[in-house]
Amino acid sequence: MRILLTSAEMTPFAKTGGLADITASLPIEWEKQGQEPIVIMPKYAHIDVYAYGFKPTFMVVYVPMSTWMEFAHVWKGFLPNSNVPVYLLENNDYFNRRGIYGDPHEYPDNDRRFIFLSRAVFEVARMIDFTPDVIHAHDFHTAFSMAFLKSQYKHDPKFSKTAGVYTIHNLAYQGWFNPPRTLDFAGFGIKEFYPGSWFEHKSTVNAMKTGIMFADKITTVSPTYANEIRNPYFSEGLQDVLNAKGGDLIGILNGIYYNEWDPEKDNYLHSKYNKDYLQGKRINKINFLKAFKIRAMRIDTNVCTKVWYNTNCKANRWSGRHNRRIQSSYKKR
């Protein structure tokens, strides 16, 4: 199976959180299983292309934006310790700036930047003669690739049989944009914006809703979370959208990528440990508390006590799907 993965982040090239870890580990595992993945992402200013072995392809890809064409130079490299090709899109107007999304606030043209990325993936695939069976997009940044797949590229022989998979990592960041401006850049026009349209949510363009509605399948981080986000408390206002696509919403439990996160081999840990030597966890916690001058009432390998905000919390409450609940409890204090 040929899989085109597109994301705004990928370890080790560009990372702000867990999105980058997942998008880096998936293609490597796909390759091990005999699939044929490629990755397309931006060439941000901070990426040291020579340190990571990227080389210019001298290809220039032309990307339709509204009624005009824009372009990007294409660099090619590989995910470390793999044969997975990674294509970087170099466009200085969009990506040659500090940070990924903004510094410190979001860039006001993030709609235009990520619509450009979402459309450019198709033009790169054309140029390198890659016909994907699946396009896998992640979070709001590449959500519009799902819309382009089912509209502008629907009848293109390269993509007419391609399925769109959209993965939700962080439901809180949905990409709210100005309707006339955003839909003009995307080539849909304001005529496609009306109450209940697949672009509209609460009178604005919502990129995440767009990705959800146009995707063939929607995945998220666990079966439990896939059920939880269909309820108002966890849905960040998208419960109606997620329920409308409930038949295509799947939860796939996130695993641990042991090549990176094996406590038996991790040189960043003060004390390495495994299932036969759990004392190392206790040693690491004690050193963590000492390093940050935090006083703990008791140390336990399964419970964190007086570490954050002086509250007791079961360790598994720090999983992403419970962040909102914990944050709410802080506000009540």
Region class of 187: left (phi > 0), else alpha (psi between -120 and 50), else beta:
left
CA atoms within 13 A on the CB side of 275: 0
Residues 6+ apart with CB under 8 A from 100: 8, 9, 14, 16, 44
Say what the pLDDT of residue 150 is.
Answer: 98
Say what the pLDDT of residue 326 is.
Answer: 34
End-to-end CA distance of the chain: 51
Amino acid at 281: K
The pLDDT tens digits for 67-107 are: 999 999 999 999 999 999 999 999 999 999 999 999 888 99
Q: What percentage of the chain has pLDDT greater than the value 90?
A: 84
Rounded Cα distance between 101 and 106, Å, is 5
DSSP string covering 226-240? HHHTTSHHHHTT-HH
Rounded Cα distance between 156 and 170, Å, is 31
Say what the pLDDT of residue 298 is.
Answer: 65
Domains of the chain: 2-258 (3.40.50.2000), 262-332 (no CATH)
List of the chain residues with pLDDT < 70: 297-333
Burial 273-310 (b: 16+ CB within 10 A, else e): beeeeeebbeebbeeebeeeeeeeeeeeeeebbebeee
